[in-house]
Amino acid sequence: MSEQAKYLVNCWYVAALASEVDAGGLFQRRILGTSVLIYRLQSGQPVALQDRCPHRFAPLSRGIRHGDEVTCQYHGLRFDGGGRCVHSPHGDGSIPRAAQVRSFPLVERDGFLWIWPGNPALADPALIMDGAVLSRNPPASVAHTYMHNAVNYELLADNIMDLTHIDHLHGPLINTRGKLSPLIPKVSEESDGIRIRWDWQADPAMLLLATHLAEPESPARQFFEVKWHAPANMRLNVGAMQAGEDYHSDGVVLYDFHIMTPETDTTTHYFFASTRNYRMDDGGYNAAKMQGMIEAFTTEDKPLIEAQQQEMQSTDLWALQPVLLSSDAGAVRVRRRLRALIEAEQQVCAA
């Protein structure tokens, strides 16, 4: 990738929703500053290539599909799904050794296409974050969406790692009526990421969940728990339970995935997926709930965070000497961990 020094590269990023890449098309998206072509072989298996012909650098996504191969629209070199040039219409038809397009490891899992921008030899699918609940749950309880944002990806990760913003920025459907900000969240450093958790007594529970509890008007125990994985892949569990209930079996729980992939320094691909443990066969509720979440994000979070980015005019938060609050405990650790991982990766590269 062209901007490697800024980003962690030996890790899995989501490149696209599986549903964005259809059977016959050529799908293009810029990831970590590099334009990538994604398409499906006739077997359905998706592949990812740098979207750049090695001749005069025309985007291959403007090319023409021939079965599993893509022909460059400009002068007709043809490449297979691994990026190898398999045909040249020029001269005696011999294929120059340098006529090779970079290919990236790509794995389809849990409704996402995961790309590995770094060393392909290190691309172990076992390192992909656990999103099995999205595949395991009934389809009527699962939804995925994609949103583009004019924001650096770390600012978007801060938004999920510091959920106290919901009481100040969001409306009654998902706020906690002021319960969150006074709490000191529990933060734990784990080998594969960072976890942050808030627990509180709600009276009643947040509106989104209260209506699904046995006694919607009565007090409930609530929690938010976020597990972050590098670089900006987060799972958020939101739960509410009443007297004696265990949230895994009796309470109501949302399992949300907030996954951010840098497009450039100041623009981000935001992938969101959600499932739950209640009304799991209700597709109508599923669609309405997803619409509500998208609306909350696009009308409340997105305008504010994009304005924040405009005001900062920088992606270096620390250079601006931000005030720190108790609610920053998770976001600060995430930023430090990510920086340490990027630095460690660069030292290995330099060695």
* In the complex, minimum distance from the CB of residue 85 to ligand FES, in angstroms, rounded to a whole number: 9
* In the complex, minimum distance from the CB of residue 42 to ligand FES, in angstroms, rounded to a whole number: 23
Which residue, 10 or 149, is less far from Fe ion as judged by CB? 149
Site for ligand FES in 211-240 (CB under 6 A): none
Which residue, 55 or 221, is less far from ligand FES as judged by CB? 55
* In the complex, minimum distance from the CB of residue 113 to Fe ion, in angstroms, rounded to a whole number: 25
Site for Fe ion in 126-145 (CB under 5 A): none
Size of the site for Fe ion (CB under 5 A): 1
Q: Does 72 bind ligand FES (CB under 6 A)?
A: yes
Q: Which residues contact 339 (CB under 8 A, 6 or more apart)?
A: none
* In the complex, minimum distance from the CB of residue 323 to ligand FES, in angstroms, rounded to a whole number: 51
Look at residues 336, 330, 323 and name the one whose alpha carbon lies nearest to residue 186: 330
Q: Which stretch binds ligand FES (CB under 6 A): 42-50, 69-77, 100-108, 274-282?
A: 69-77
Query: If phi over 0 gives left and psi between -120 and 50 gives alpha, with beta otherwise, what is residue 321?
Result: left
* In the complex, minimum distance from the CB of residue 306 to ligand FES, in angstroms, rounded to a whole number: 36
Which residue, 74 or 200, is less far from ligand FES as judged by CB? 74
Which residue, 70 or 205, is less far from ligand FES as judged by CB? 70
Site for ligand FES in 29-68 (CB under 6 A): 53, 55-56, 58
Cis omega before residue 182 (within 30°)?
no
Q: Does 90 bind ligand FES (CB under 6 A)?
A: no
Torsion over CA: 162, 168, 171, 174 (sign): positive
**Residue 301's binding partner out of ligand FES, Fe ion, none, with CB under 5 to 8 Å set by partner kind:** Fe ion
* In the complex, minimum distance from the CB of residue 139 to ligand FES, in angstroms, rounded to a whole number: 41
Using CA atoms, how far residue 163 sits from 187, 196, 326, in Å, is: 13, 10, 12
Residue selected from 154, 158, 301, 345 as contacting Fe ion according to rule CB under 5 A:
301
For ligand FES, what does the binding mask look like between residues 161 and 200, x meaning CB under 6 A? ----------------------------------------
**Residue 72's binding partner out of ligand FES, Fe ion, none, with CB under 5 to 8 Å set by partner kind:** ligand FES
Q: Does 110 bind Fe ion (CB under 5 A)?
A: no
For residue 333, report the phi and psi dihedrals to the nearest 5 degrees: -65, -40
Q: Inter-axis angle of helices 153-161 and 329-350, to 10 degrees?
A: 140
Contact residues: ligand FES, CB under 6 A: 53, 55-56, 58, 72, 74-77
